[in-house]
Amino acid sequence: MNKNIVFPLLMLAAGAANAASYTDYATVVKSEPVYEQIQSGCNNVATAAQNPTSIGGLQDVMTAENGGAVLGGLIGGLAGHQVGGGRGKTVATVVGAIGGAMAGRQIAQNVGAKPTPVAQECRPVIQKQLAGYSVTYDYRGHRDTVTLPANPGKRLEMRVSAEPVAR
């Protein structure tokens, strides 16, 4: 082995043997919890799906309700026309047509009623979780801040190492 390397290694080993370590305490000046936001899955929320809206045209006029009203009005008018005579026949025809239209519209709505479409929407669930504590401490006039996993209380245990300097 090279003689130039042996001596520094021996000195290093001797210095490590003389190193001292002890426990001391620092004063905690401030300790505040630190939170992080965590997204965990999602809440499924049922929302009514929107039907596309039509812009004019016969789509708005030719509906089941309107068809039922027209058909009901015709049947009611014919039935009312069979009743009475003279002016009473005219009144019976009009009342029959109106009543038939209302009944036909209601029947068409009940028969053609479709359930409202439902869409599932995922809304993320965001939770706050404790990440640790931001601790500001004072040790022999030196102030520092560290993040620790737990709240240390009023005092913070410090491991102090002393090692002689070789000159």
**Quick one: average pLDDT of 131-137?**
96
Contact 111, 71 (CB under 8 A): no
Q: Please tell me whether residues 108 and 74 are part of one structural domain.
A: yes
> Does a structural domain hold residue 52?
no
Is 5 part of a structural domain of the chain? no
**Residue in the structure block whose two tokens are 């040790």:** 139
When pLDDT is averaged across residues 129-153 and rounded to a whole number, the result is 95
8-state DSSP, 83: S
Sheet architecture: strand order including 20-48: 142-148, 118-139, 20-48, 155-162
Whether residue 48 lies inside any domain: the answer is no
pLDDT in tens, 53-71: 545 555 555 566 677 777 7
Here the tokens at position 139 are 């040790």
Contact in structure between 43 and 80 (CB atoms under 8 Å): no
- 98, 80 in Cβ contact below 8 A? no
Residue-range definition of the domain harbouring residue 144:
21-39+126-167
Please give the tally of structural domains in the chain.
2
pLDDT band at 2 (very low <50, low <70, confident <90, very high): low
> 117, 137, 159: which is the final residue of a domain?
117
pLDDT at 133: 96
Examine the domain organization and report whether 143 and 101 are in the same domain: no
Inside any domain, residue 16: no
Helix (H, G, I), strand (E, B) or coil at 106: helix
- Does residue 72 sit within a domain? yes
Q: Could you count the other beta carbons within 10 Å of the beta carbon of residue 93?
A: 19
For residue 161, pLDDT over 60 is answered with yes
